[in-house]
A and B are shown apart, each in its own frame.
Chain A
Amino acid sequence: MNPKRVDKIATIVIYIMSGTIIIILLALLLYILLAGIKVVNWHFLTSASKSFQAGGGIGVQLFNSLYLLVLSMLFSFPFALGIAIYLTEYAQNPKLTNWISSAIEVLSSLPSIVVGLFGFLVFVINFHLQFSILSGALTLMIFNLPLLVRSMEDALQSVSVSQREAGLALGLSRWETVIHVIIPECLPSIVTGVILAAGRVFGEAAALIYTAGQSAPPLNFTNWNILSLTSPLNPMRPAETLAVHIWKVNSEGLIPDAAAVSAGASLVLVVVVLLFNLLARFVGKKLYQHLTGE
């Protein structure tokens, strides 16, 4: 066969295969939408789940997911930012930096179930935190850190050297340069990275099964006493999240309408993750415009 024919055939094959990927995604989204749209309504989103009967909602799980997300971000944001600042601004020994980056890489490559089991061993059992939001949030922090550190490092490194030099030339210390010059400069990309990480954390389940627990005690949203077991804000209560709920409902099969509940919950999960993605783009852009005055 002459090369020109081969070229044509190869191009067509690549078009077909790329098209297949697009079709797969469209089919996935369509399936989630069609299966879920019949189930999702206000009642489904706000009512409590049921263990053995049909007709349960996902209200508590939805709240748990969001609360857990906020809490774990509160822990991991300063942690990750500190590490990123150290690695980009202070660490001078390239060999040492290399070792630290390798450690973070290893952490990011650990299977989430292994991170979850570590959380179970340390937070749930050794620290006696039981199956609780706190254990879950700490475990999610471990799960989340490598990704956050990497995105923040990229953001900090993208600021040009001349900005650092300008700060230092004005007599600012390194730390002041970082806080007052570098971070404001790259804030849009830091925020984008954080929101994207939030989307990933929101859908995570394997790390939470044995840390935040697989049960969702009923909540009383008028109870603001943080120590009470029915208070939504109590960080010591077990908290099944939306993703864990989907998994549990499907693998235990105790409720008769498992397929419907998981279809609805899947739709909510995917929509929230999509919202996070859009938000990341939107906020990043807005913040950039605001900061640069364009």
Chain B
Amino acid sequence: MDSIAKKLQQRSLSARIERRGKLVTQCLTLLIVLLVLVIFAFIATKGVAVFTKDRGNLWTFFTGSTWSPDKLDIHRRPLIGALPMIVGSFSVTLLAVLLATPFALAAAIFMTEIAPKKGQQILQPVIELLVGIPSVVYGFIGLGVVVPFVQKLVGGSGFGIFAGALVLFVMILPTITSMTVDALKAVPRYYREASLALGATQWQTIYKVVLRAGTPGIMTAIIFGMSRAFGEALAVQMVIGNAILMPSSLASPSTTLTSVLTMNMGNTIMKTTANNALWSLALLLLIMALFFNIVVKYIARKGEL
């Protein structure tokens, strides 16, 4: 009798497996959340070191244009003016988004409104293929095609913001397009039917109804594109020229946050001012990524109302 009672009181094998399974997956989920926190903590502590330990000035960081962290200015503060890279990053990003958005909108309208069938057959694989091409390949093509093209077009060396923006344009085009397609597909069918029933042409329906209704989704798509462009490292680094100078024109060599990081992280010694200053750039990138994320969340919430 005792053994039977014992058996009945014990957890069954499947209950034990169940508990173990739940625990394991719970731990893994906890681990990824921890990972995100650890990334932020590590990069934040490394990133503020140049301001706390090396007496760097936050104001100079955002407004100064001389970047030579191992030298000191008259106040014995390191020269960490990151303005050229900040300007470089933002101008490359904005230019790329300005170029890509109209094309992405056109492609998305084509795929959802004008010729959904052809869109599925022709444009969908094109977008998928564009996503699949690795960023270094874009950089290589940028070197071989875009830089000489810009050189012919406006003179100079060809390396610079314009070349970077052209490369990024192709890279973020598929991101913006596919997200815009999702946004337009989510617009209810009866909106279109109502508009067409009122006698509007197809373009009027698209322009005045579908695009309006899809605006939050389209905005999200554009911000996502910006976020990708802002964080892209190697393709831009290969075509931008990498000169830490205030950009004087669209075709003069300049630089971005990511390209300074990729170029110099290997050449500095850990815990020196020069190295700490680089980590502050990484922190800035991290904060921007977070900022884009919050904006997307905000738009999504507004769109729901």
Q: Please report A residues at the B interface, Cβ cutoff 8 Å.
A: 3-4, 6-7, 10-11, 13-15, 17-18, 20-22, 24-25, 28-29, 31-32, 35, 79, 82-83, 85-87, 89-91, 99-100, 102-107, 109-115, 117-118, 120-122, 125, 142, 145, 149, 172-176, 178-179, 199-200, 202-206, 209-210, 214, 243-244, 246-247, 250-251, 259, 262-263, 266, 269-270, 273-274, 276-277
Contacts and interface: CB of A to CB of B under 8 A. Distances in A.
Given A83-B32, A173-B17, A210-B266, 16 more contacts: A18-B106, A21-B130, A22-B122, A28-B170, A35-B144, A79-B28, A86-B26, A100-B29, A113-B285, A114-B289, A121-B46, A206-B258, A209-B262, A209-B266, A244-B136, A246-B137
Contact of B18 (A103, A115, A176): A176
Contacts of B282: 113-114, 117
A53 to B, nearest CB: 21
Contacts of B206: 10
Contacts of A266: 136-137, 140-141
Contacts, number: 243
B248 to A, nearest CB: 23
Contacts of A203: 132-137
Interface of B: 14-15, 17-18, 21-22, 24-26, 28-29, 31-33, 35-39, 42-43, 46, 102-103, 106-107, 109-110, 114, 122-123, 126-130, 132-137, 139-141, 143-145, 170, 173, 177, 200-204, 206-207, 227, 230-234, 237-238, 258, 261-263, 265-266, 270, 279, 282, 285-286, 289-290, 292-293, 297
A118 B203 contact: no
Contacts of B137: 32, 203, 246, 266, 269-270
Contacts of A91: 29
Contacts of A85: 21, 25
Given A82-B25, A90-B25, A199 B43 contact: no
A245 to B, nearest CB: 9
B88 to A, nearest CB: 15
A113 B233 contact: yes
28 contacts: A14-B106, A14-B109, A17-B106, A20-B103, A21-B107, A22-B123, A25-B129, A79-B28, A82-B24, A82-B25, A82-B28, A87-B29, A111-B231, A114-B282, A114-B286, A149-B32, A173-B14, A175-B22, A203-B132, A205-B234, A206-B233, A209-B266, A246-B139, A250-B143, A270-B133, A270-B134, A270-B137, A277-B128
Contacts of A105: 293
A178 B20 CA distance: 14
